[in-house]
Amino acid sequence: MMEIRRLDFRGYMCPMPVLMAHRALKQLPPHTQILFRLNKQSDIRDFELLCDEMGLVLKEKRESEDEIQLVIVSLD
């Protein structure tokens, strides 16, 4: 079963969320997924590029009126 972690970066402005996500994702064990909660000012493209760079999968994107949620998965 895949472990799920949650990180809430809604209180931070760009570029802090993607920098903090990079640090967290570097320590991510295999077969783990992280749910990131971001404010609407965050740029999803930065997270897409980060996933490509790190060989991770952006599994899910959800946007509501006041936040963005991204699920990123480590498969290795």
Number of domains the chain contains: 1
CATH of the domain at 8: 3.30.110
Q: Comparing C-alpha atoms, which of 62, 46, 63, 66 is closest to residue 54? A: 46
Helix (H) or strand (E) holding 45: helix 44-54
Sheet holding 57-63, edge to edge: 3-8, 32-39, 67-74, 57-63
* 63 within domain boundaries: yes
pLDDT digits (tens, 9 = 90+) for 30-66: 889 999 999 999 999 999 999 999 999 999 999 999 9
- Which structural domain, as residue segments, surrounds residue 27? 3-68
* Model-wide pTM > 0.85: yes
